[in-house]
Amino acid sequence: MQQSAFQSTSIRTRDPARMNYTALKSILTGALILISTCNPAYAEGDPEEGKVKFLMCAGCHAIPGYSNVFPRFQVPKLGGQHAEFIINSLKSYAKGERQHVSMTGTALSLTEQDMQNIAEYLASLKFAVNIDKDEAFGNPVAGKKKAKNCASCHGKKGKSASPGFPNLIGQYETYLIHALQQYRSGNRTNPMMTGMAAALSDEDIEDIAAYYASQKKGLSTPR
C-alpha cells in the first residue's frame, strides 16, 4: 500500500464509502447559505492595472512549482481562475476566514479596486498544458469516481461554469490536499466545503486532488 505523503498532518477517521447524516446536513445548510449570498455586484476591474499590482504577488505566485515552507504545499496556480472567486478569497484572508500570515497581510493592504483589478488580470490569462500532471501522491483513477460529488459546483474535470466556484482543473495536488485538510479541520470556514470535507478520509482527499491535478490542461502560472 502506498505511504501517504500527508499522514503527519491528519488522521484517517472516516469511511470513504459513506457520508454520515451530519455531513449531509452541513452540506445542505451550506448550499442554502451560499445560494442566498452568491453573485454579489462587483465593480469592473482593470486587467492592465491588475497586472501591475500583481507584481507584489509574483514572488510566490509567478514561480512554477514554488512551495510554501510549512506546512509544505505548492502555492496555487491562479492563471485562468474566476475573478469572483479570487476576490472572495482575498476578502476571506482579510477577514480571517482563511489562515496564512503573508496572504492575510497582503489582502489587508489591498483596496476593493486593487482586488478587482488583480482578479480581472488573472481571469484573463489562458489555461496551459499541465506539465505537473504525472506527479501524484494519490490515485487519480480512484479520485475520478470520488470527485463526482464535486462536479455540480466545480464542473467536469474541475472546470467550473459558475464564477463563484473555483476552477480546480490542473491545480497542484499538494495545494488541493492542503485546502481540503484546512476545510476539514475548520481552519478555513465555508459551510459547504466544511461539510463536504468532513466526510473525506486522507485517502479520499489525496485521490480527489490527484484527479484534478492529473488533467492535461488547466490553470496556469502567470509569467
Summarised one tens digit per residue, pLDDT across range 22-68 is 444 454 445 444 444 444 445 689 999 999 999 999 999 999 999 99
Residue 138's pLDDT band (cuts 50, 70, 90): very high
Distance CA 133, CA 116 (A): 30
pLDDT (0 to 100) of residue 151: 97
Nearest to 187 by CA among 113, 47, 92: 92
Q: What is the pLDDT of residue 10?
A: 39
Which DSSP string do the residues of 92-135 spell out, in sequence order? HHHHTSS--HHHHHHHHH--HHHHHHHHHHHHHSPPEE-TTTT-
Task: Answer for the pair 221, 130: CB distance below 8 angstroms, yes or no.
Answer: no
For the chain, domain boundaries: 45-218
pLDDT for residue 153 is more than 90:
yes
> How far, CA to CA in Å, does 38 sit from each of 42, 162, 164?
12, 10, 7
Question: Given a cut of 70, is residue 173 above it in pLDDT?
Answer: yes
Position 9 scores a pLDDT of: 39
Strands annotated E in the chain: 67-68, 73-74, 128-129, 217-218
Distances in whole angstroms, Cα of residue 77 to Cα of each of 61, 63, 186? 7, 9, 23
Other beta carbons less than 10 A from residue 155's beta carbon? 17
| Spatial distance between the Cα atoms of 179 and 188, rounded to a whole number of angstroms | 8
Grid coordinates representing 165? 466556484
- For residue 217, what are the β-bridge partners? 129
CATH class of the domain defined by 45-218: mainly alpha
Count CB neighbours of 167 within 10 A: 25
Over residues 142-151, the pLDDT tens digits come to 999 999 999 9
Is pLDDT above 60 for 187? yes
Rg of the chain (C-alpha set) = 17
Q: Residue 5 pLDDT more than 50?
A: no
Return the pLDDT at 48: 98
Contacts by 50-57, CB closer than 8 A, 24 or more apart:
50/116, 50/117, 50/118, 50/119, 50/120, 50/121, 50/122, 51/121, 53/110, 53/114, 53/117, 53/118, 53/121, 54/118, 54/121, 54/122, 54/222, 56/106, 57/106, 57/118
Q: What is the pLDDT of residue 43?
A: 60
pLDDT class of 2 with cuts at 50, 70, 90: very low
- Selected residue with higher pLDDT from 4 and 151: 151
Among 107, 133, 134, smallest CA distance to 53 is for 107
Asked if 204 and 198 touch (Cβ cutoff 8 Å), the reply is: no
